[in-house]
Structure 1
Amino acid sequence: MNRQTRIFQAIKEMGADTGATASQIARNLQLDRANVSHDLNNLYKEGKLKKSKGRPIYFSLEENGDKDHILSKIDTFTQKNPSLHVAIEQGKAAILYPPKGLHTIIMGETGAGKSMFARMMHSFGLESGRFSNDFVSFNCADYSNNAQLLLSHLFGVKKGAYTGAVDQEGLIEKADQGILFLDEVHRLPPEGQEMFFKFLDDGTFRKLGEADQERSAKVMIICATSENAQSSLLQTFIRRIPMVITIPPLRERSEKERYEMIKDFFKEEAIQLGKEIFVSANTLYSFLYYPCPNNVGQLKNDIQLACARAYADFITEKKERIQINSTDLNAYVREGLAYRDNKPAIQLNHRYYIFSKQAEDAPMIEDPFEQTQNIYDLIERKHHELTDKGLPKNEINTLMDHEIEQSFTQYINSVKQKLDTADLLKVIDVKFIKLSEKIIQYAEERLQKRFDNKITLGLALHIHTSIERLKLGKEIMNPKLNSLRTFYKQEFWVALESLRLIEEDLKVNLPIDEAGYLTMFFKSEHMGLPEESREKVPVIVMMHGNSTASSMADTVNQLLNENYARSIDMPLHMSTAAAYESLKKMALKIKTKSGLLLLVDMGSLVSFGEKLQEDLGVPVRTIDAVSTPHVLEIVRKAVLGYSLDELYGELMTADYQVAKNPVNHDQPAKLAIVTACLTGHGSAKTIKNALKKYLSYDKNNFEFISINISERTEAARLIHTLSKEKRIVCIVSHFHLTDQYPQFSIEDVVRLKGIKEIQTLVDQEQIYLSMEETLHHHLEKLDARKIVPDIRRFLETVQEHLNTTINKNDLIGIVLHISCMLDRLNLDENPVSYSEKATYIENNKQMFNTLKEILIPLEKKYALTVPDDEICYIMNFFEWALEENQGAKG
């Protein structure tokens, strides 16, 4: 009898009415209280037990809970993982099939959960009475190259089978009356598979060295493989395994299933640590949406790693509690935040979620699939998100105005139509429902309109939440109060009277801000507030090409769910005059008085703004060389009501000018460190300031650039554009953007772990910059600013082909040598000679051929041929550097 069955039986023996606490049962059965508490809560979730309110919690039988068979763990697992329903039913059938079950092979990608599924089958076998023995696991990869060792390990050894052999029990005997799990069965060699034939056929076997005695065991074989069984296993072996179960990868599981896994993994860690774990909403989003190629196994490992780091910070007193924020995660996990916008099914409305060591505390973990959202918490969460991004206060206030409207709509929509009064009574007191009905009746009479049932239910929940908030001493504040009072006067007066009804009925005092929320209920059929007194600034995107502008505008409008950005495409055959007339016609149709912002790419379009301003008599601002992230950000702020000057000022900052100014080839390209975050502000600028503080660099030839990465592909394109004007030293970002440059996480900079490495890169690049300046005045034919980068790329390729890394100081010397050599060859000066060239080349043929082949692009670009003698001298550099590397290792 397993532990959960024992606990359920103990509750039955105590009587349906008496009940017992977790401590009492743990004491009576001499079990660990935490384990008892966990099982009691599972029985409660399965509908077998009921529990009392308050503390201590008493568990007793439900009226329908007195059944001989309680819900098995595998059935409970099915409820949380519906995508595995078919696999689980197959597993149960394999276990229950008489007389000893069906041998089974479980197929699935690495980390999909094959081992866990096999153990769950064993657990079901124990619960159903099919097995009485343990689960024996064997990894076939460990013995794949030694057939005799494999045979002895599986079937055992008879004394005297070989010199020094003693009697040894095999895994088959150990697994008698249980399960033998063969993991990575595809690593079993053909002869290893053939060893199983007799046992799979009739359940008999012989030990190694045993010819006169045949043994038998009742063992069910479960195999697991991540390979195609048909191609990696013998057909004669596969035919003896009748049940084939496939476990789907994590990417094919539903969001809710993955969310349940994440919660379970965090609960396991809380129990393991014996302490509460506080997990931020963004952390949960990261784990929910990040690409997880190694499936459930990787997901669990990444969560364990995050918990381990948080625990280390706690015990070293860096943090007051075990707390995990998204900034504590590995960069590849934080990528989940970038995918979140495309998968809005799950809404987490609190900053932190608590995973407790006690099972009774599980309700403290808010479940977005089961609980109705709270307007105050939605607004607070939005405010925290904006504050965490480091946005200035005035921008937060502007954004919050828009967010409150969206949050209210989201709140109303979350109140399901199917939630009738009977259901609502399970959530809140009947007095709130009756009060809501009275208020809605009054509002319908005064406003002469009918309200949908979900408005009544939503209002009841809202009033309940308001009163609970007041009891906790939390503030009720509505930043939209003035605009609501101005634009919805009739609804606002009804809200004030409703406020009086609430205060009289519930004997409370409510702030006038609450009238603002009531007004939002009464005007809820409107899509949004009327236009503010300040007219919004129109944005026109105008670019060369058949669809460049329209594609960019369409992308931005889709991302913002707004039809705001207008566009004009200028095909290459269109004349400048015709293009301007198209722009003027569109501007006249808009009839704007607040001004117009024109976003263009290049050429004659840059001058259109001034002419349009003269013709229309309204202010026009023009920004050139914009990209999709620029347009996205500017349209977002235009929708929020930013003025023309505010919009223009945003785009004309240094951060937005990275792709605008033409390169001056008479001056060396500046070195740059790129910091990137989701907005181009906030954390990116904070990191930029930290780098300025801790790095040593020449301010005359160095700069820091913050960019927006709200769209990853566009961010990569922006970095590519930057690279044509700047010499990028490295990138600092939460998200991996390109393999072209060294990248550091924001955590590396904040914790100063990456500063030393970044400083090394800065020093190295400044040396190369100085070298180029020196060579620029020294070389007679070639441009050092062009040739040095080419030589560096050549040397990177050579190192890759030779599978070695050369000391940076040695590389600088090689760059200097090759630069002078190429310039000398370009001048047709007498070539140098290398003594004993033929012998040297013969002794180092592989390196010589490698260098000769990789030099071809340089030779073609600079119209010259590098003699073998010169290649020998370059080989000398690599030989010396390689010897130094080997000496250092020795």
Structure 2
Amino acid sequence: MASAKERVLTALTKLNQGTDAVETMTIAEALDLSRSVTSHYLSQLLTENKVQKLTGRPVRWQLVQAAPAPIPEPALQLHAFAEIIGANGSQIDNIRKCIAAVKYPNGGLNMLLTGKSGVGKTFLAHTIYDYARDTKVIAADAPFKVLNCADYANNPELLSSVLFGYVKGAFTGANTNKEGLIQVADGGYLLLDEIHRLSGENQEKLFTFMDTGHFRPIGENRRDSTAQVRIILATTEDPNTVLLDTFQRRVPVSVHITSYADRPLDERLAFIRTLFHGEAQRFNSQLQVAPEVLQMLAALRPVGNVGRLKNLIKVACARAFTRQTDQHPEQMGITLEDFEGEGLTVHADELVITAPMTIPVEMATPGAVTETGGDAAAIQQFLTDQAHPTAADSRLMVQTLEAQHAHDPIRQTILHTLHERLYTRIVRHRFGLKSTAEYEPIFFRLYAERVTVSPDQLRHLQREAAANFPRSLHVADQFYAALPVLNQASHDLLAALLACCISELVDEKIPLRCLMVAHGSRTATSIQSVVNQLCGTYLVDAIDMPIDTTIDQIIGEAKRIVDSFDTSNGFILLVDMGSLS
């Protein structure tokens, strides 16, 4: 039999079909209930976000209309951009800008590429040109010309002649007419690298051409020349300090390329794999890259970014080759010894890679991060259909996705090894949830695919998890805090989903929170792991106190964790005082 509250909701649903809103008394009369009882149940339904109350008197009620299913964006046709590492990851917004600039009617939009030396500005410019040809925006034989402004930084007049050309007699030695790069690039692209070395006068000449498509070669005083050129500018400097304001206004699209060290881990590993693959083909030999090499390169902060990384890998492979007795080895091993003497600087963050990377001579080009979109669509549809999903609903949805992927190979094996190790150490051992192993593979796939939902859907799921499964959410948060972030929105979504999945194994009714603080690099967390595993559920939290950690640091960390707890029912703090005064 339906409860009184459900009967109120059913009555409102029927009555709401014939009118915009229904008064409390109308619902009460339809159910033969008192006004006060009906109002009581309507207030509960309001709290559950199933009905909404309109302002004014008398009070009127409406059903909360289910949000329309989100219309998925059409799949982005990447063409040449598919070769860019991060095309479906950290660089997706940049690529959307580039595509918009290429497709803009009547000649496209001029673009400015910024980023440190070696991040790939020239490569991106070539890719933009290839994309324009692939999509037939420009002719297949359209030109692509490059001018490095630094080559002429001390001679702006010579640069001007190279750029705009000159006529016979314009200056001593000008014995014939000479076309400039702007004329030569007509119908195609012109890349001006190191644009910050372009003089103010030449910037003014260039933006006049950008505005009108007209220019005059040096020495020409009567007649304008015309050309239709798509211009790409590139600089390592802050454009606000090196370019004229009037010049910047002519360049509506700005793309900043992220440095190697600031890319997500999967993209750094993709760079490493791609560069080693080039060497495997050059030496016609399979490469076996040691885990400690991968760990070092993934944590590297190379001054020259990908350009420097490429050179380091070239030299390392050359050194490895010199150790071979066979001039045509089937496999070469790459070790840390091959990188000695380079004075490399790495991240201070702890990053442990335990699996080697095998690079065959022939393999699929390691391009952009894979993104299927199917899992994201399934989760998004689930959150649209289930306005108030229960933990069981969420678990079933995740388990359904896992079943769909049961026979799919996991491709990013090194990243998966890291994910699996941290999941086992934190979720299964430290918090004692041994029976959650089944969830690790699917959560890795969602993590590697950067699965996201709309901001509203994410906020709703986070609120549900925080309100109903705070202890489970704490476990999930601790795991994702240790895992390298590929996409922050995806990280947040997966933490909330994981909390729903493991909530059946976490006793959310335990009234007290317990925090243990002990000396040693892993003393407290080791004790925490033993206690939680013996009890078969999550009971205690822990903070390790390495000997070189200050008291203020420990106090700050303890406060941060305690602030995330509900301590209204009590709190236990266990402290190993040791030698503390």
TM-score by length of 2: 0.50
Larger RCO (alpha carbons 8 Å, 6+ apart):
2
Which structure has greater helix proportion? 1
Q: Which has the larger radius of gyration?
A: 1
